[in-house]
């Protein structure tokens, strides 16, 4: 049997708050997508939108109006990033290894661009931005290792997936117009530093819990 035929795609586990309604919407969008538009086009669109969102974040340091551009670009990113796989499945033109690798390398680079722009804007300190990138990457490493070893690809944890994260980020962008800083424990702290620190804590807690669960599962699967 050839290596291509022997490959087994991982089971996709998506149980986020918006998962069911999002699936229905994406299937409708895929059904009406012009034949000339491919999954690769959508992946490229999503990646370009994330790079542009990072640039808009950097520019928002001079004018908060650029945050509206960030929110619009997050929507464009959702469109490209979420629809590319659905379109491939709808047209039965799936390339699971290629799609998995390209899609998630693009995601990692896009996230780095977004946080770089946010740090350059001055709305988030460099230390918090770096901590958030490290925590996000560590959780991503866990997800990819678990996908390989357990055969299950988790797209959400605690009912929160990529779509929910985009919604939360867009809401934080709007909140920045009203509350650029918060007074906590007698100190004035930037809103995005508070949000970023909470996100880091949430990612680390999720990583620890998911790692322990995976270790237990693997230990049971490979008892000596």
How far apart, in whole angstroms, are the C-alpha atoms of residue 3 and residue 16?
Answer: 33
| Whether the Cβ atoms of residue 42 and residue 80 lie closer than 8 Å to each other | yes
Please give the structure tokens belonging to residue 164.
């929910």
Binning pLDDT at 50, 70 and 90, where does residue 96 land? confident
pLDDT for 157: 77
Distances (CA, A) of 190 to 1, 68, 115, 148, 197: 58, 19, 15, 39, 11
Rg (CA), the chain: 19
Spatial CA neighbour of 143 closest among 23, 20, 10, 44? 10
Alpha-carbon span 134 to 108, nearest angstrom:
11
Per the structure, how many domains does the chain have? 1
The yes-or-no verdict on residue 92 having pLDDT over 70 is: yes
> Could you tell me if residue 3 is inside a domain?
no
30 near 50, Cβ under 8 Å? no
Q: Does 39 map to a domain?
A: yes
* CB neighbours of residue 3 within 10 Å: 7
Q: Is the pLDDT of residue 2 over 70?
A: no
**What is the maximal distance between C-alpha atoms in the chain?**
67
CA distances from 195 to 69, 77, 173, 187 (A): 20, 21, 11, 15
Q: What is the mean pLDDT of the chain?
A: 92
Helices (H) and strands (E) in the chain — how many of each? Answer: 8, 6
Which is more confidently placed, 158 or 166? 166
pLDDT of residue 8: 67
45-59 burial, b for 16+ CB within 10 Å, e for fewer?
Answer: bbbbbbbbbbbbbbb
Confirm whether 1 is domain-assigned. Answer: no
Question: For residue 156, what pLDDT is reported?
Answer: 74
> Does the structure show a pLDDT above 50 at 216?
yes
In a domain, 129, yes or no: yes
220 vs 224: CA distance, rounded Å: 9
Per-residue confidence (pLDDT) for residue 6, from 0 to 100: 56
Query: Is the pLDDT score of 1 beyond 60?
Result: no
Residue 91: which pLDDT band, with cuts at 50, 70 and 90?
very high
Contact 135, 152 (CB under 8 A): no
The CATH number of residue 109's host domain is: 1.20.120.1760
How large is the average pLDDT for residues 197-219?
Answer: 95
DSSP state of 107: H
Q: How many residues are recorded in the chain?
A: 224
Whole domain around residue 161: which residue ranges?
8-221
> Does residue 3 carry a pLDDT above 60?
no
- Distance (Å, rounded) from C-alpha 200 to C-alpha 222? 32
Q: Is residue 12 part of a domain?
A: yes
Instruction: List pLDDT tens digits, range 37-67.
Output: 999 999 999 999 999 999 999 999 999 999 9
Cβ pair 136, 203 in contact under 8 A: yes
Q: Does any domain span residue 2?
A: no
3-class DSSP state for residue 13?
strand
């Amino acid at each position: 049997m050839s290596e291509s035929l022997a490959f087994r795609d991982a089971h996709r586990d998506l149980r986020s708050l918006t998962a069911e309604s999002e699936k229905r919407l994406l299937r409708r969008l895929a059904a009406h997508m012009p034949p000339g538009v491919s999954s690769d086009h959508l992946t490229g669109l999503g990646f370009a939108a994330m790079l542009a969102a990072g640039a808009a974040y950097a520019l928002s340091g001079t004018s908060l109006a650029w945050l509206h551009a960030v929110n619009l670009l997050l929507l464009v990113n959702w469109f490209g990033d979420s629809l590319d796989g659905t379109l491939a499945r709808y047209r039965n033109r799936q390339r699971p290894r290629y799609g998995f690798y390209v899609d998630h390398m693009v995601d990692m680079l896009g996230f780095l661009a977004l946080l770089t722009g946010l740090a350059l804007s001055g709305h988030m300190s460099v230390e918090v931005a770096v901590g958030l990138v490290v925590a996000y990457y560590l959780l991503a490493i866990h997800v990819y290792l678990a996908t390989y070893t357990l055969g299950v690809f988790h797209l959400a944890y605690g009912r929160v997936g990529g779509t929910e994260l985009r919604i939360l980020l867009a809401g934080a962008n709007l909140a920045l117009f009203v509350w650029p800083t918060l007074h906590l424990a007698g100190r004035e702290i930037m809103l995005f530093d508070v949000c970023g620190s909470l996100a880091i804590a949430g990612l680390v807690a999720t990583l620890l819990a998911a790692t322990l669960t995976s270790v237990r599962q693997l230990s049971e699967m490979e008892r000596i």
